[in-house]
Every structure is written in C-alpha cells, then in structure tokens.
C-alpha cells in the first residue's frame, strides 16, 4: 500500500493560506488512495504557482513551459499508454497561454487528467488578471478593470468534446480527492477545475466568496445528460459555482484509435520495424 508521504518532496513554498496547499495535499492523497506510487505515473507540470508543485511532489515528471503541459502530456500518453498521465496546471497557463492546446486536447479525448488551479490571477508574476477573472476585475495589468468577459472552463471543455468535466473547491479536501480519483480513473480526457482562492492577489474570489456561491450537485444529478451539463456549466456566467462531475461519457480515447494500438504493448515496448525494403519498393 502506498502512503501519501511517498509522494512528498520539498516543503511547499506557497503563501500561507493559499488554496494550493489543499490541492497539493488532495493530489497526493488521491494518488495514494488509487494505489499509485511515484514510479507508476507521469505528471506534467505547467508554469506558475501550481506548476511549482514539481518540487513538492514525487513522480516521473516534466516541469514544462508555461502553457505547454498538455501537448507534453499527449505525447507522453501516446508513447506509453500504460502510465496514467496527469497535467497539473494553472488557469492562466491552461486557458490563456495554452488555450489552443486545451480545446484540442478536449477534442482528441486524449486520456489525460488535467487538474487546473483556477484562482483568477497570475500569482507567480504578482497579480495580473487571468482569463478566468470576472469581467471588471482590477489588477496590476487591468487597473480600470478587465474589459473581456471570463473564459468559462467547464462550458469550454463541454463544447469541445471533453468526456469528463468536473469542478471542485480548494477548501473541500474530501471533495477534491473524490474528483481527482474519478478523473484519473476515467478513460479519456478529464478536466478537474479547482476553484482556488489566491489569498495574496485576489481579494474578490475568497474562501468566503466560494462558500457562499458554490453548491454540490445533488445526488440525483444525471451526469450523462449533456444538455443538463451545459446549462449547469452556464451558471458560472452568473457567479454560481456547481461542484461535482457535470458530465461524463464513455468514448474511446485517442490512443486507442491510433491505427497500431496494442493494448498489451505500448509504443516504447514494441520491436523496431525492420522491413525497410518494403518501403523502398514504393519509390522504384
């Protein structure tokens, strides 16, 4: 049985009270409860306060560039589909710099789990607005308030073909663990968007803010109902935050649809192709 401590590396450097502490602890607990160990999974970290978890969490990992974790994760999964692949990223990272990658990763139903720290700001660069910030949010880069409306990650993921779309809250450890475990267990693209207060730079979206405006999806919620999922996701446009799995469906993931998919042997395990004469013939 793996222990949570097996995943513990350096002591985190996050600000006291930061939502990342909870998310970091939930991720480790989820992995341990899933029976994973640091040698059995691949994690791709983005750049930001979230990505800094690279030094606090043990695993085979890439600490990628800002915005580029998802294509790294896709490539990793294609090369070795036997390893669970998890991307740990931020909202600016995933929905801003890497926005294009995000929607195409959803489309492809790549079998990766994307855990987004959604705090509405760029913490590591000391507090500019993120694409998830509410319209009008004032920050160092938008002193008169941001002009654009928010990116709504759940709606975006749903409309682009993600097959597992969930949201959780950094103040609810038990819920986060449950969502992450289900996300990692889901075969196909899974998004776990975690609402995360940034105690240093975001004075609007606080713990109190989310406690007042979030709610857990009822037990009888039908997560296979796509239209229901869409209408539930749209509540975020009005500052109402559903928590739970909004949508889940079973569809073959990208790597299983690749022409030469072999369940038993991943790409790195196969014997090399040696019949080069066959290819030369095409040119004669």
Q: Pick between residue 85 and residue 243 the one whose CB is nearest to another protein.
A: 85
Interior/surface letters 175-192, b for 16+ CB within 10 angstroms, e for the rest: bbbbbbbbbbebebbbbb
Closest CB to another protein among residues 40, 125: 40
Q: Are 223 and 248 in contact (CB under 8 A)?
A: yes
Q: Which regions of 72-140 does DSSP assign to beta strands (E)?
A: 85-90, 113-118, 121-122, 128-129
Compute the least distance from the CB of residue 110 to another protein, in Å: 10
- Cβ atoms of 241 and 210 closer than 8 Å: yes
Q: Which is nearer to another protein, 147 or 271 (CB)?
A: 271
Q: Does 28 bind another protein (CB under 8 A)?
A: no
105-134: contacts with another protein (CB under 8 A)? none
DSSP per-residue codes, 211-274: HHHEEEPPTT--TT-HHHHHHHHGGGGGT-EEEEEEEE-----HHHHSTT--SSS-GGGSPPP-
Half-sphere exposure of residue 192: CA atoms within 13 angstroms, side-chain side: 27
Site string for another protein, 156-175 (x = CB under 8 A): --------------------
Tell me the number of residues near another protein by CB under 8 A. 53
* Window of 26-34, 37-45, 123-131, 218-226 that interacts with another protein by CB under 8 A: 37-45
Question: Where does this chain touch another protein (CB under 8 A) — which range of 17-25, 113-121, 219-227, 265-273?
Answer: 265-273
If the CB atoms of residues 147 and 280 are measured against another protein, the closer one turns out to be 280
Cβ at position 142, least distance to another protein in Å: 25
Q: Does 258 bind another protein (CB under 8 A)?
A: yes
CA-based nearest residue to 98, from 170, 191, 30, 36: 191
Region binding another protein by CB under 8 A among candidate stretches 41-49, 113-121, 194-202, 206-214: 41-49
Distance between CA 118 and CA 19 in Å, rounded? 10
Q: Which span sits near another protein by CB under 8 A: 20-28, 33-41, 153-161, 216-224?
A: 33-41
Distance CA 84, CA 40 (A): 8
Q: Could you say which residues in the range 43-102 bind another protein, by CB under 8 A?
A: 44-45, 47, 52, 54-55, 58-65, 67-68, 70-80, 83, 100-101
Report the distance separating Cα 198 and Cα 209, nearest Å: 12
DSSP per-residue string spanning 67-86: T-HHHHHHHHHHH-TTS-EE
**Cβ of residue 108: shortest distance to another protein, in angstroms?**
9
- Of 251, 68, 258, 257, the closest CA to residue 161 belongs to 251
Say if residues 110 and 74 touch (Cβ distance below 8 Å). Answer: yes
Q: Which one, 188 or 242, has the nearer CB to another protein?
A: 188
The nearest distance, CB 105 to another protein, in angstroms, is 9
Q: Which residues bind another protein (CB under 8 A)?
A: 9-10, 38-40, 42, 44-45, 47, 52, 54-55, 58-65, 67-68, 70-80, 83, 100-101, 104, 258-260, 267-268, 270, 272-273, 275-280, 283-284
């Amino acid at each position: 049985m793996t222990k949570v401590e097996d995943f513990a590396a350096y002591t985190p450097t996050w600000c006291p009270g930061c939502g990342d502490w909870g998310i970091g602890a939930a991720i480790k607990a989820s992995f341990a409860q899933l029976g994973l160990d640091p040698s059995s999974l691949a994690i791709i970290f983005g750049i930001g306060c979230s990505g800094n978890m690279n030094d606090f969490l043990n695993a085979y990992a890439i600490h990628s560039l800002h915005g580029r974790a998802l294509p790294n994760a896709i490539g990793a999964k294609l090369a070795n589909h036997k390893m669970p692949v998890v991307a740990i990223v931020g909202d600016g990272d995933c929905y801003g710099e890497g926005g294009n990658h995000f929607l195409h990763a959803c489309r492809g139903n790549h079998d990766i789990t994307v855990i987004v720290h959604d705090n509405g700001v760029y913490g590591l660069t000391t507090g500019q607005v993120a694409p998830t910030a509410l319209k009008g949010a004032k920050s160092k880069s938008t002193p008169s308030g941001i002009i654009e409306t928010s990116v709504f990650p759940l709606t975006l993921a749903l409309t682009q073909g993600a097959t597992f779309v969930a949201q959780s809250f950094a103040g609810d450890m038990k819920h986060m663990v449950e969502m992450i475990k289900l996300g990692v267990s889901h075969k196909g693209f899974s998004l776990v968007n975690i609402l995360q207060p940034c105690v240093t730079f975001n004075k609007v979206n606080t713990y109190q803010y989310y406690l007042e405006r979030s709610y857990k999806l009822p037990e009888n919620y039908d997560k296979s109902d796509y239209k229901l999922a869409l209408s539930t996701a749209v509540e975020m446009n009005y500052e109402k935050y559903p928590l739970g799995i909004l949508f889940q469906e079973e569809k073959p993931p990208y790597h299983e649809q690749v022409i030469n998919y072999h369940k038993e042997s991943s790409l790195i395990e196969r014997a090399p192709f040696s019949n080069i004469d066959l290819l030369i013939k095409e040119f004669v």
